[in-house]
Amino acid sequence: MGNLGFHLCILISLACFNFPINCFDIQNKVTTTLFVFGDSMFDPGNNNYIINPSAYKANFEPYGKSYFKHPTGRFSDGRLVPDFIAEFANLPMIPSFYQALHNHSINHGVNFASAGAGCLDETYSEKVISLNTQLGNFKIIRKKLKAQLGKKGSKALLSNAVYLFSIGNNDYLRLYDIPDIPSNMSCLAYATEHEYMNMVMDSFVTVMMEIYKLGGRKFGIQDLLPLGCLPRFRGLAFLKEGPHSDCLDELNSIVKKHNLALSRKFKQLKKKLRGFEYSFFSIFDALNELFEDPSTYGFKEAKAACCGFGPYRGFGSCGMAEAYELCKNVKEHVIFDSYHPTEKAFHHFARVWWQGNSNVVESQSLKSLLA
Protein backbone atom coordinates (compact mmCIF):
# COMPACT_ATOMS: atom_id res chain seq x y z
CA MET A 1 0.00 0.00 0.00
CA GLY A 2 2.86 2.36 0.88
CA ASN A 3 4.64 1.67 -2.42
CA LEU A 4 1.40 2.19 -4.33
CA GLY A 5 0.96 5.58 -2.65
CA PHE A 6 4.56 6.50 -3.45
CA HIS A 7 4.19 5.60 -7.14
CA LEU A 8 0.85 7.45 -7.31
CA CYS A 9 2.52 10.58 -5.93
CA ILE A 10 5.27 10.29 -8.54
CA LEU A 11 2.70 9.93 -11.34
CA ILE A 12 0.72 12.97 -10.10
CA SER A 13 3.89 15.05 -9.83
CA LEU A 14 4.96 14.10 -13.36
CA ALA A 15 1.49 14.88 -14.70
CA CYS A 16 1.56 18.32 -13.11
CA PHE A 17 5.09 18.93 -14.39
CA ASN A 18 4.07 18.10 -17.95
CA PHE A 19 0.66 19.84 -17.83
CA PRO A 20 1.01 22.81 -15.45
CA ILE A 21 -1.98 24.76 -16.79
CA ASN A 22 -4.52 22.13 -15.73
CA CYS A 23 -2.88 20.97 -12.50
CA PHE A 24 -3.18 23.96 -10.17
CA ASP A 25 -4.01 22.01 -7.01
CA ILE A 26 -4.17 18.32 -7.87
CA GLN A 27 -1.69 17.48 -5.09
CA ASN A 28 -2.99 19.97 -2.51
CA LYS A 29 -6.70 20.49 -3.06
CA VAL A 30 -8.18 23.81 -2.01
CA THR A 31 -11.77 23.62 -0.84
CA THR A 32 -13.81 26.65 0.13
CA THR A 33 -16.96 28.60 -0.70
CA LEU A 34 -17.36 31.44 -3.20
CA PHE A 35 -19.96 34.18 -2.98
CA VAL A 36 -19.92 36.37 -6.07
CA PHE A 37 -21.32 39.90 -6.41
CA GLY A 38 -21.23 42.45 -9.19
CA ASP A 39 -22.03 43.23 -12.79
CA SER A 40 -21.86 41.62 -16.23
CA MET A 41 -18.21 40.69 -15.75
CA PHE A 42 -19.40 38.09 -13.22
CA ASP A 43 -23.14 37.54 -14.03
CA PRO A 44 -23.79 33.83 -14.85
CA GLY A 45 -27.38 34.49 -15.92
CA ASN A 46 -29.21 36.08 -13.00
CA ASN A 47 -30.68 38.69 -15.34
CA ASN A 48 -32.49 35.93 -17.25
CA TYR A 49 -35.00 35.97 -14.39
CA ILE A 50 -35.77 39.70 -14.53
CA ILE A 51 -39.27 40.22 -15.93
CA ASN A 52 -38.59 43.69 -17.36
CA PRO A 53 -38.16 43.19 -21.16
CA SER A 54 -35.58 46.00 -21.29
CA ALA A 55 -33.32 44.28 -18.72
CA TYR A 56 -29.73 43.62 -19.79
CA LYS A 57 -29.61 40.00 -20.92
CA ALA A 58 -27.37 37.72 -22.95
CA ASN A 59 -29.74 34.78 -23.29
CA PHE A 60 -29.43 34.51 -27.06
CA GLU A 61 -26.82 33.40 -29.58
CA PRO A 62 -23.92 33.82 -30.23
CA TYR A 63 -23.34 34.25 -26.48
CA GLY A 64 -22.09 31.05 -24.87
CA LYS A 65 -21.26 29.18 -28.08
CA SER A 66 -17.55 28.51 -27.46
CA TYR A 67 -17.99 26.48 -24.27
CA PHE A 68 -21.61 25.90 -23.33
CA LYS A 69 -22.77 25.60 -26.97
CA HIS A 70 -25.85 27.62 -26.01
CA PRO A 71 -26.53 31.00 -24.31
CA THR A 72 -26.52 30.95 -20.50
CA GLY A 73 -26.86 34.67 -19.77
CA ARG A 74 -23.11 35.23 -19.53
CA PHE A 75 -21.92 38.22 -21.55
CA SER A 76 -19.20 36.37 -23.41
CA ASP A 77 -18.70 33.46 -25.77
CA GLY A 78 -18.06 31.17 -22.79
CA ARG A 79 -16.98 31.17 -19.17
CA LEU A 80 -16.20 34.15 -16.93
CA VAL A 81 -13.57 34.75 -14.24
CA PRO A 82 -15.62 33.21 -11.35
CA ASP A 83 -16.15 30.05 -13.42
CA PHE A 84 -12.40 29.59 -13.83
CA ILE A 85 -11.63 30.49 -10.22
CA ALA A 86 -14.09 27.78 -9.11
CA GLU A 87 -12.35 25.33 -11.43
CA PHE A 88 -8.89 26.22 -10.08
CA ALA A 89 -10.18 25.75 -6.53
CA ASN A 90 -11.65 22.32 -7.36
CA LEU A 91 -15.19 23.59 -6.89
CA PRO A 92 -18.19 22.94 -9.13
CA MET A 93 -19.40 25.88 -11.23
CA ILE A 94 -21.02 28.34 -8.83
CA PRO A 95 -24.80 28.55 -9.44
CA SER A 96 -26.70 31.77 -9.94
CA PHE A 97 -28.88 32.94 -7.06
CA TYR A 98 -32.06 31.86 -8.80
CA GLN A 99 -30.65 28.42 -9.56
CA ALA A 100 -29.56 28.10 -5.93
CA LEU A 101 -33.06 28.88 -4.72
CA HIS A 102 -34.49 25.90 -6.55
CA ASN A 103 -32.35 22.90 -7.30
CA HIS A 104 -28.67 23.56 -6.66
CA SER A 105 -26.47 22.96 -3.62
CA ILE A 106 -25.37 26.19 -1.93
CA ASN A 107 -22.52 24.79 0.18
CA HIS A 108 -19.91 25.70 -2.46
CA GLY A 109 -21.31 29.21 -2.93
CA VAL A 110 -23.74 31.33 -4.90
CA ASN A 111 -23.32 33.96 -7.63
CA PHE A 112 -25.53 37.06 -7.15
CA ALA A 113 -24.03 39.27 -9.89
CA SER A 114 -26.26 41.13 -12.34
CA ALA A 115 -25.32 42.63 -15.70
CA GLY A 116 -25.72 46.41 -15.63
CA ALA A 117 -25.58 46.69 -11.83
CA GLY A 118 -23.55 49.42 -10.20
CA CYS A 119 -22.66 50.48 -6.68
CA LEU A 120 -25.51 53.02 -6.74
CA ASP A 121 -29.14 51.87 -6.63
CA GLU A 122 -30.10 54.34 -9.38
CA THR A 123 -27.64 52.89 -11.89
CA TYR A 124 -29.81 51.32 -14.61
CA SER A 125 -32.53 50.83 -12.00
CA GLU A 126 -35.40 48.43 -12.81
CA LYS A 127 -33.24 46.78 -15.50
CA VAL A 128 -30.81 45.10 -13.10
CA ILE A 129 -30.44 43.51 -9.67
CA SER A 130 -28.80 46.30 -7.69
CA LEU A 131 -25.85 45.70 -5.38
CA ASN A 132 -28.06 46.31 -2.35
CA THR A 133 -30.57 43.76 -3.65
CA GLN A 134 -27.69 41.33 -4.19
CA LEU A 135 -26.81 41.85 -0.53
CA GLY A 136 -30.42 41.08 0.40
CA ASN A 137 -30.25 37.89 -1.67
CA PHE A 138 -27.06 36.90 0.14
CA LYS A 139 -28.90 37.27 3.44
CA ILE A 140 -31.55 34.84 2.15
CA ILE A 141 -28.83 32.30 1.37
CA ARG A 142 -27.23 32.94 4.76
CA LYS A 143 -30.50 31.97 6.47
CA LYS A 144 -30.71 28.80 4.39
CA LEU A 145 -27.14 27.88 5.36
CA LYS A 146 -27.90 28.47 9.02
CA ALA A 147 -30.95 26.19 8.76
CA GLN A 148 -28.89 23.49 7.04
CA LEU A 149 -25.61 23.66 8.96
CA GLY A 150 -26.63 25.19 12.27
CA LYS A 151 -25.28 28.41 13.78
CA LYS A 152 -21.75 27.12 14.36
CA GLY A 153 -21.42 25.42 10.98
CA SER A 154 -22.76 28.34 8.99
CA LYS A 155 -20.54 30.77 10.89
CA ALA A 156 -17.46 28.72 10.02
CA LEU A 157 -18.46 28.49 6.36
CA LEU A 158 -19.11 32.25 6.07
CA SER A 159 -15.84 33.24 7.75
CA ASN A 160 -13.81 30.91 5.52
CA ALA A 161 -15.67 31.84 2.33
CA VAL A 162 -14.26 34.25 -0.25
CA TYR A 163 -16.45 37.13 -1.46
CA LEU A 164 -15.66 38.18 -5.03
CA PHE A 165 -16.65 41.61 -6.35
CA SER A 166 -16.65 43.27 -9.77
CA ILE A 167 -18.70 46.44 -9.36
CA GLY A 168 -18.63 50.12 -10.30
CA ASN A 169 -18.11 49.95 -14.06
CA ASN A 170 -21.73 50.80 -14.83
CA ASP A 171 -21.84 53.78 -12.47
CA TYR A 172 -19.43 55.49 -14.87
CA LEU A 173 -20.61 53.90 -18.11
CA ARG A 174 -24.07 55.39 -17.70
CA LEU A 175 -22.59 58.90 -17.69
CA TYR A 176 -20.67 58.51 -20.93
CA ASP A 177 -22.52 55.98 -23.05
CA ILE A 178 -24.95 58.50 -24.54
CA PRO A 179 -23.54 60.25 -27.63
CA ASP A 180 -25.85 63.26 -27.21
CA ILE A 181 -24.48 64.04 -23.74
CA PRO A 182 -21.07 65.74 -23.51
CA SER A 183 -18.34 63.40 -22.28
CA ASN A 184 -17.79 65.03 -18.93
CA MET A 185 -19.18 65.08 -15.43
CA SER A 186 -21.13 68.30 -16.02
CA CYS A 187 -24.14 66.15 -16.90
CA LEU A 188 -24.30 65.37 -13.18
CA ALA A 189 -26.00 68.47 -11.86
CA TYR A 190 -26.00 67.11 -8.31
CA ALA A 191 -22.33 66.20 -7.92
CA THR A 192 -18.79 67.08 -8.90
CA GLU A 193 -16.54 64.35 -10.23
CA HIS A 194 -14.95 63.88 -6.81
CA GLU A 195 -18.30 63.85 -5.01
CA TYR A 196 -19.74 61.32 -7.43
CA MET A 197 -16.71 59.05 -7.09
CA ASN A 198 -17.06 59.15 -3.31
CA MET A 199 -20.75 58.25 -3.59
CA VAL A 200 -19.89 55.22 -5.71
CA MET A 201 -17.07 54.16 -3.38
CA ASP A 202 -19.09 54.64 -0.20
CA SER A 203 -21.99 52.59 -1.56
CA PHE A 204 -19.65 49.71 -2.35
CA VAL A 205 -17.82 49.81 0.98
CA THR A 206 -21.13 49.97 2.88
CA VAL A 207 -22.26 46.69 1.30
CA MET A 208 -18.90 45.05 1.87
CA MET A 209 -18.86 46.16 5.52
CA GLU A 210 -22.32 44.65 6.00
CA ILE A 211 -20.92 41.32 4.77
CA TYR A 212 -18.03 41.72 7.19
CA LYS A 213 -20.52 42.24 10.04
CA LEU A 214 -22.35 39.09 8.92
CA GLY A 215 -19.15 37.07 9.22
CA GLY A 216 -17.25 37.56 5.94
CA ARG A 217 -13.49 37.99 6.29
CA LYS A 218 -11.95 37.23 2.89
CA PHE A 219 -12.59 39.50 -0.08
CA GLY A 220 -11.48 39.40 -3.71
CA ILE A 221 -11.90 42.72 -5.50
CA GLN A 222 -11.57 43.35 -9.21
CA ASP A 223 -11.17 47.02 -10.09
CA LEU A 224 -12.73 48.83 -13.05
CA LEU A 225 -11.93 48.09 -16.68
CA PRO A 226 -10.17 50.64 -18.91
CA LEU A 227 -13.67 51.57 -20.07
CA GLY A 228 -12.56 54.24 -22.51
CA CYS A 229 -10.65 51.64 -24.55
CA LEU A 230 -13.52 49.19 -24.99
CA PRO A 231 -14.85 48.89 -28.58
CA ARG A 232 -17.93 50.95 -27.78
CA PHE A 233 -15.87 53.97 -26.76
CA ARG A 234 -13.16 53.51 -29.35
CA GLY A 235 -16.05 53.62 -31.83
CA LEU A 236 -17.51 56.77 -30.29
CA ALA A 237 -14.08 58.42 -30.35
CA PHE A 238 -13.72 57.42 -34.01
CA LEU A 239 -17.05 59.00 -34.92
CA LYS A 240 -16.25 62.13 -32.93
CA GLU A 241 -12.57 62.66 -33.76
CA GLY A 242 -11.88 60.60 -36.88
CA PRO A 243 -9.67 57.61 -37.74
CA HIS A 244 -6.67 58.89 -35.77
CA SER A 245 -8.53 58.68 -32.47
CA ASP A 246 -8.02 55.84 -30.02
CA CYS A 247 -9.48 55.56 -26.51
CA LEU A 248 -11.91 57.92 -24.80
CA ASP A 249 -9.36 59.44 -22.44
CA GLU A 250 -11.84 61.43 -20.32
CA LEU A 251 -13.58 58.25 -19.25
CA ASN A 252 -10.32 56.43 -18.53
CA SER A 253 -9.17 59.38 -16.44
CA ILE A 254 -11.98 59.08 -13.89
CA VAL A 255 -11.71 55.27 -13.90
CA LYS A 256 -8.02 55.56 -12.96
CA LYS A 257 -8.91 57.88 -10.08
CA HIS A 258 -11.58 55.46 -8.86
CA ASN A 259 -9.21 52.48 -9.02
CA LEU A 260 -6.48 54.31 -7.13
CA ALA A 261 -8.93 55.40 -4.42
CA LEU A 262 -10.30 51.84 -4.19
CA SER A 263 -6.82 50.37 -3.76
CA ARG A 264 -6.04 52.86 -0.99
CA LYS A 265 -9.36 52.12 0.72
CA PHE A 266 -8.65 48.41 0.99
CA LYS A 267 -5.19 49.03 2.38
CA GLN A 268 -6.85 51.15 5.08
CA LEU A 269 -9.47 48.48 5.80
CA LYS A 270 -6.73 45.85 6.17
CA LYS A 271 -5.17 47.92 8.95
CA LYS A 272 -8.48 48.78 10.57
CA LEU A 273 -10.54 45.56 10.55
CA ARG A 274 -9.66 42.51 12.60
CA GLY A 275 -9.22 39.35 10.52
CA PHE A 276 -9.80 41.23 7.24
CA GLU A 277 -7.99 39.72 4.25
CA TYR A 278 -8.17 40.62 0.59
CA SER A 279 -6.79 40.14 -2.90
CA PHE A 280 -7.01 43.14 -5.22
CA PHE A 281 -6.88 42.46 -8.97
CA SER A 282 -6.31 45.31 -11.41
CA ILE A 283 -8.13 44.21 -14.54
CA PHE A 284 -7.50 47.77 -15.74
CA ASP A 285 -3.76 47.05 -15.97
CA ALA A 286 -4.18 43.41 -17.04
CA LEU A 287 -6.45 44.34 -19.96
CA ASN A 288 -4.19 47.21 -20.99
CA GLU A 289 -1.35 44.69 -21.23
CA LEU A 290 -3.41 42.73 -23.75
CA PHE A 291 -4.31 45.90 -25.66
CA GLU A 292 -0.66 46.94 -25.90
CA ASP A 293 0.91 43.57 -26.73
CA PRO A 294 -1.75 41.03 -27.75
CA SER A 295 0.59 38.64 -29.58
CA THR A 296 2.59 37.94 -26.40
CA TYR A 297 -0.57 36.50 -24.86
CA GLY A 298 -1.74 34.57 -27.94
CA PHE A 299 -4.16 37.11 -29.44
CA LYS A 300 -4.22 38.76 -32.86
CA GLU A 301 -6.94 41.42 -32.44
CA ALA A 302 -7.12 43.55 -29.30
CA LYS A 303 -9.11 46.63 -30.29
CA ALA A 304 -12.09 45.43 -32.33
CA ALA A 305 -14.80 43.23 -30.84
CA CYS A 306 -15.63 39.84 -32.30
CA CYS A 307 -19.35 40.58 -32.40
CA GLY A 308 -21.13 43.84 -33.31
CA PHE A 309 -21.03 46.34 -36.15
CA GLY A 310 -19.63 49.74 -37.03
CA PRO A 311 -16.20 51.08 -36.03
CA TYR A 312 -14.37 48.47 -33.94
CA ARG A 313 -17.65 46.46 -33.96
CA GLY A 314 -18.51 48.66 -31.01
CA PHE A 315 -22.18 49.26 -31.82
CA GLY A 316 -25.42 47.33 -31.80
CA SER A 317 -26.47 44.42 -29.67
CA CYS A 318 -24.45 41.31 -30.48
CA GLY A 319 -26.89 38.72 -31.78
CA MET A 320 -29.99 40.92 -31.59
CA ALA A 321 -29.37 43.53 -34.29
CA GLU A 322 -30.37 42.59 -37.84
CA ALA A 323 -26.97 43.43 -39.25
CA TYR A 324 -24.28 42.40 -36.78
CA GLU A 325 -20.91 40.95 -37.77
CA LEU A 326 -19.27 37.93 -36.13
CA CYS A 327 -15.56 37.24 -36.36
CA LYS A 328 -14.31 33.95 -37.85
CA ASN A 329 -12.08 32.94 -34.94
CA VAL A 330 -13.09 34.23 -31.49
CA LYS A 331 -9.87 32.89 -29.94
CA GLU A 332 -7.93 35.58 -31.82
CA HIS A 333 -9.91 38.36 -30.10
CA VAL A 334 -9.46 39.94 -26.67
CA ILE A 335 -12.96 41.46 -26.68
CA PHE A 336 -16.16 39.63 -27.59
CA ASP A 337 -18.82 42.36 -27.85
CA SER A 338 -18.95 46.13 -27.31
CA TYR A 339 -17.92 45.85 -23.64
CA HIS A 340 -16.95 42.31 -22.61
CA PRO A 341 -13.84 40.15 -23.00
CA THR A 342 -13.78 36.74 -24.67
CA GLU A 343 -13.61 33.50 -22.71
CA LYS A 344 -9.92 33.21 -23.61
CA ALA A 345 -9.24 36.66 -22.11
CA PHE A 346 -11.31 35.84 -19.01
CA HIS A 347 -9.24 32.66 -18.54
CA HIS A 348 -6.08 34.75 -18.71
CA PHE A 349 -7.39 37.20 -16.09
CA ALA A 350 -8.44 34.37 -13.78
CA ARG A 351 -5.03 32.71 -13.97
CA VAL A 352 -3.17 35.95 -13.31
CA TRP A 353 -5.39 36.72 -10.29
CA TRP A 354 -5.16 33.14 -9.01
CA GLN A 355 -1.38 33.06 -9.23
CA GLY A 356 -0.90 36.59 -7.91
CA ASN A 357 1.09 38.31 -10.65
CA SER A 358 2.75 41.20 -8.80
CA ASN A 359 2.14 43.63 -11.67
CA VAL A 360 -1.63 43.45 -11.34
CA VAL A 361 -2.43 41.80 -7.97
CA GLU A 362 -2.11 43.50 -4.58
CA SER A 363 -1.97 42.10 -1.04
CA GLN A 364 -2.01 38.38 -1.94
CA SER A 365 -2.96 35.93 -4.65
CA LEU A 366 -6.50 34.65 -4.87
CA LYS A 367 -5.09 31.14 -4.46
CA SER A 368 -3.64 32.01 -1.05
CA LEU A 369 -6.87 33.73 -0.03
CA LEU A 370 -8.81 30.58 -0.90
CA ALA A 371 -6.41 28.30 0.99
Nearest to 318 by CA among 342, 294, 354, 350: 342
Amino acid 186: pLDDT: 44
Q: What is the 3-state secondary structure (H, E, C) of the chain?
A: CHHHHHHHHHHHHHHHHHCHHHCCCCCCCCCCCEEEEECCCCCCCHHHHCCCCCCCCCCCCCCCCCCCCCCCCCCCCCCCHHHHHHHHCCCCCCCEHHHHHHCCCCCCEEECCCCCCCCCCCCCCCCCCCHHHHHHHHHHHHHHHHHHHHHHHHHHHHHHCEEEEECCHHHHHHHHCCCCCCCCHHHCCCCCHHHHHHHHHHHHHHHHHHHHHCCCCEEEEECCCCHHHCHHHHHHHHHHHCCCCCCCHHHHHHHHHHHHHHHHHHHHHHHHCCCCEEEEECHHHHHHHHHHCHHHHCCCECCCCCEEECHHHCECCCCCCCCCEECCCHHHECECCCCCECHHHHHHHHHHHHHCCCCCEECCCHHHHHC
Q: Is the pTM above the cut of 0.75?
A: yes
Single-letter amino acid code for the residue at 179: P
- Digit-coded pLDDT (tens) for 341-359: 999 999 999 999 999 988 9
Active site residue 340: yes
Q: Is 12 helix (H, G, I), strand (E, B) or coil?
A: helix
Buried b (16+ CB within 10 A) or exposed e, 281-292: bbbbbbbbbbbe
Active site residue 54: no
Nearest CA to 88 out of 5, 180, 43, 23 is that of 23
pLDDT in the model for residue 201: 97
pLDDT in tens, 269-310: 999 999 999 999 999 999 999 999 999 999 999 999 999 999
Helix (H, G, I), strand (E, B) or coil at 155: helix
Q: What are the phi and psi torsion angles at 362 (to 5°)?
A: -110, 155
CA-to-CA distance for 132 and 203, rounded, in angstroms?
A: 9
> Which three-class secondary structure state does DSSP give residue 371?
coil
pLDDT reading at 16 higher than 60 = no
Please say whether the beta carbons of 248 and 233 come within 8 A.
yes
**Non-local CB neighbours of 269 within 8 Å, separated by 6+ positions:** 205, 276, 278
pLDDT band at 181 (very low <50, low <70, confident <90, very high): very low
User: What pLDDT score does 31 carry?
Assistant: 53
Catalytic residue of the set 39, 40, 203, 333: 40
Smallest CA-to-CA distance from 255 within 168, 368, 157, 192 is with: 168
Q: Which residues pair with 35 in a beta bridge?
A: 110, 163
Please compute Rg for the chain using Cα positions: 21
Mean pLDDT of 164-173: 97
Of the candidates 316, 351, 348, 355, the one whose C-alpha atom is nearest the C-alpha of residue 334 is: 348
pLDDT digits (tens, 9 = 90+) for 80-137: 999 999 999 999 999 999 999 987 789 899 999 999 999 999 999 989 999 999 999 9
Q: Considering 76, 223, 337, 347, which one is annotated as catalytic?
A: 337
Residues 6+ away with beta carbon under 8 Å from 293: none
Q: Among candidates 280, 255, 288, which has minimal Cα distance to 364?
A: 280
Confidence at 18, pLDDT banded by 50, 70, 90: very low
Active-site residue (options: 108, 258, 340, 348): 340
209-225 pLDDT, tens per residue?
Answer: 999 999 999 999 999 99
- Count other C-beta atoms under 10 Å from residue 195's C-beta: 12
Which position has the higher pLDDT, 115 or 239? 115
